[in-house]
Amino acid sequence: MSTILFELGCEELPPKSLKPLRDALQASVTEQLTAADITFDSIKAFAAPRRLAIQIQGISDKQPDRTEQKRGPAIKAAFDAEGNPTRAAMGFAKGLGIEASELTTINTDKGDYVGFEQTIRGQATTELLPAIFQTALDNLPIAKRMRSGASRNEFVRPVQWAVLMQDDTVIDATIQGHQTGTQTRGHRFHSPDYHNIAHANDYEELLSGLKVVADFDKRQMLIKNQVKALADEVNSDAIVPQDLLDEVTALVDFPIALRASFEARFLQVPQEALISTMQADQKYFCLTDKNGKLQPYFIFITNIESKDPNQIIEGNEKVVRPRLADAEFFFLQDQKQPLFALTESLKNRVFQDKLGTIWEKSERIAKLAAFIATLMQQQGHGINVDETVRAGILSKADLASSLVGEYPELQGIAGTYYARLNDEPEAVAASLEEQYLPKFSGDVLPQTPIGICLALADRLDTLVGIFAIDQAPTGSKDPFSLRRSAIGILRILIEKQLPINLVALVEQAIKGYSDAEGSKIEKMGDTFTQVMAFLNSRYRAMYTEQGVSVDTIQAVQAINPHMPLDFDQRIRAVQAFSELSQASMLADSNKRVANILAKSEVSVADTVDEALLSEPAEQNLYANVQQAQTVVQPLLEQADYTQVLQTLASLDEPLTQFFDQVMVNSEDASLKNNRLALLKQVRALFLTVADISELQL
């Protein structure tokens, strides 16, 4: 058992790609070693700005020998009547490099064949490793590879050195066009020269002395701890998004955190703008107080252990000041006119060529949001319809602002700031930011009633419009993020407990595209059908992500509920039903009932003639069905689907007895039709919640 060390030294690797490259390299090497039957105790990947490395400890010296059985022609074809080998047998033996006399007999179910057991010697690990590492490098997820100078070898950045060692010995190979050796390089500034690696086990410790923390995760933890310590000194919390943390970790070999400050006057600017520019442009960690309010400090990570850190701090403060001043300028510039005035320029901005301007979209959003607000009002929600219309008209105004022009991610957020400065009602102002929620899977939902109306109206309007012009998402393309929008609509209606019918919303959204000159939507019926089908198809994606089984989703989809909240309640009921001891038997019985009814050649009656119930088992089932209908009716009115299915579970035994003791397809047509009517009532009871026959229990 020995230790293998591989390192590829490069010019600075792309920081956003470093962690994925590390993970892909380790995964590929691990997979190839396993496929080659080479065992090892542990494998660890390293990644720093100028290197990718793999250290494998306790690796076996060679592949194990293995025996392969080679099968040749059938015995009848291999030997003639005198028992002499035929040309077929001799040809097979020659191909294996043996004499025909060495062939053995292999007995199989299909007859006897000649064969030979061949021992294949395992290759030395050191012979296999160069190809394994080169293959792993070739398979890395690199969008665009480059060549360096006259070299024909391609990689994400120019390669400068390659290390491949077994313990203290070089494994001679050429990888990425470089001859392997034992020499690595340290920190670009603190230790730029080549240094010899005495033993593969010394790698991490050696680099540590050369001011390189090679372990990506250790480097990241150092950054997190230093950032927290500096934030604690000023009683603040650091904003540390994982993507930014990964990127900063990939930018430095030897992280040293420093805290700097900026003028407090910049805090009058929307803090989202300041945070955005400091994170995206400067890779800084911003600080907030315990209430989330931005503080006039930021923390940055330097890659140099400076003798005078104050110079570095002052340099960063000097660099960030113009960026903050730009944000301040845009913010003040926008305030020279009220937010509503910005809507004028929306009349010249196209939302989509065939769907009109952004101003027209704002008008449609206002009308649809007012419709939703009226529905919510009728359901007892406190919401002002006039304020909802006002919010809809202002919803896209900030798209014409200088601030959003410079920082597109502030759409909605800027509108909320400007609306408050213009003394718009707080309900209107707050909704402008909330209209874009949820922004991604698992994101928070809008909280205010008007924000909910805008979020629904905006998504529905886009959904209907894009389907109307035949731009529906394909398997690989969804430029308008319609899948995400659809799930956002479903989540809002379900999680905000809004019993609103999708049919009404989609119909109203389609009407929004009509005016005195006609409708922008040519095939309104087709658009309605396609949008409804698309929304219904999103349930599966949404619920499977929550861990709901596909058959449970299909059981509810089979009855096609049009109200997302109702759909969700049915899903929860079927989940609870699936846990019951009777569930499996009832699912099978429902399948049987559905099949019997489907095969019926006559129209099955809705009512049962009690006088024709001759068998005790069918009389018992009918009595239980009658009782269940009585109990279930008020439960359905309360949408208590869980209790409905709990009640119907009592039909398990009567149904089983019915199928055991009663012949449904009786020769007497009246008896047969009456029994079919009874089964139809059983089926109808379950279908009030879901199609239980879809369950695979």
What CA–CA distances, in Å, run from 13 to 50, 51, 76, 142? 6, 8, 65, 11
593 vs 249: which has the higher pLDDT: 249
Question: Do you find a cis peptide bond into 438, omega within 30 degrees of 0?
Answer: yes
DSSP 139: T
Pick left, alpha or beta for residue 45 (phi over 0 → left; psi -120 to 50 → alpha; otherwise beta). beta
Looking at residue 502, its pLDDT comes to 96
Q: pLDDT value at position 517?
A: 61
Question: 342-547 domain in CATH 1.10.10?
Answer: no
Please choose, from the candidates 318, 299, 316, the residue with its C-alpha nearest in 3D space to the C-alpha of residue 233.
299
- Over the stretch 651-671, which tens digit does the pLDDT of each residue have? 999 999 998 898 888 888 888
Determine the Cα–Cα distance for residues 252 and 13; give it in Å rounded to an integer: 11
Indicate whether 14 pLDDT > 70: yes
117-140 tens-digit pLDDT: 877 788 889 999 999 999 999 999
Asked if 339 and 420 count as a contact pair (C-beta separation under 8 A), the reply is no
Separation between Cα atoms, residue 507 and residue 503, nearest integer Å: 6
Q: CA–CA separation, 523 vs 521, rounded Å?
A: 6
Q: What is the pLDDT of residue 234?
A: 96
Domain boundaries, the chain: 2-62+124-209, 68-120, 216-334, 342-547, 567-694
Q: In whole angstroms, what is the distance from residue 98 CA to residue 90 CA? A: 9
pLDDT at 617 over 70: yes
Q: What is the pTM of this model?
A: 0.80
CA distance 376 to 451: 12
Residue 288 in tokens: 């907030």
pLDDT band for position 610 (cuts 50, 70, 90): confident
Both tokens of 258, joined, read: 């420093």
- Assess if CATH 1.20.1250.20 describes domain 2-62+124-209: no
Collapse the DSSP code of 8 into the 3-class scheme (helix H, G, I; strand E, B; otherwise coil) and give the result: strand
Sequence-separated (6 or more) residues with CB below 8 Å from residue 344: none
Instruction: Check residue 293 and report its DSSP letter.
Output: -
Residues in the chain, overall count = 697
Residue 518 confidence class, pLDDT cut points 50, 70, 90:
low
CA 410 – CA 272 distance, rounded (Å): 7
Mean pLDDT, the chain, whole residue set: 92
Q: Is the Cβ–Cβ distance between 558 and 570 less than 8 Å?
A: no
Q: Give the per-residue pLDDT at 294.
A: 97
Strand runs (DSSP E) across 326-442, as ranges?
350-352, 356-357
Instruction: Give the per-residue pLDDT at 99.
Output: 83
Fold assignment, 567-694: Isoleucyl-tRNA Synthetase; Domain 1 (1.10.730)
| pLDDT tens readout for residues 672-697 | 888 888 899 999 999 999 999 999 87
Task: For residue 4, give every residue at least 6 positions away whose Cβ sits within 8 Å of its Cβ, in sequence order, or none.
Answer: 54, 55, 56, 59, 125, 129, 164, 165, 166, 171, 200
At 555-584, the pLDDT tens digits run: 999 999 999 999 999 999 999 999 999 899
Q: Is 149 exposed, middle or buried (0-12, 13-18, 19+ CB in 10 A)?
A: exposed
Which pLDDT tens digit goes with each residue over 160-169?
A: 999 999 999 9
Mean pLDDT of 217-233: 97
pLDDT digits (tens, 9 = 90+) for 424-475: 999 999 999 999 999 988 899 999 999 999 999 999 999 999 999 888 888 7
pLDDT at 551: 94
Beta-carbon-side half-sphere exposure of residue 497 (alpha carbons within 13 Å): 4
- pLDDT band of 347, cuts 50, 70, 90: very high
Please report the pLDDT score of residue 80 as a whole number. 83
Q: Give the pLDDT band of residue 516 (cuts 50, 70, 90).
A: low
pLDDT band at 112 (very low <50, low <70, confident <90, very high): confident
**pLDDT tens-digit profile of 638-647?**
999 999 999 9
Torsion, Cα of 499, 500, 503, 506 (10° steps): -150
Distance CA 553, CA 541 (A): 10
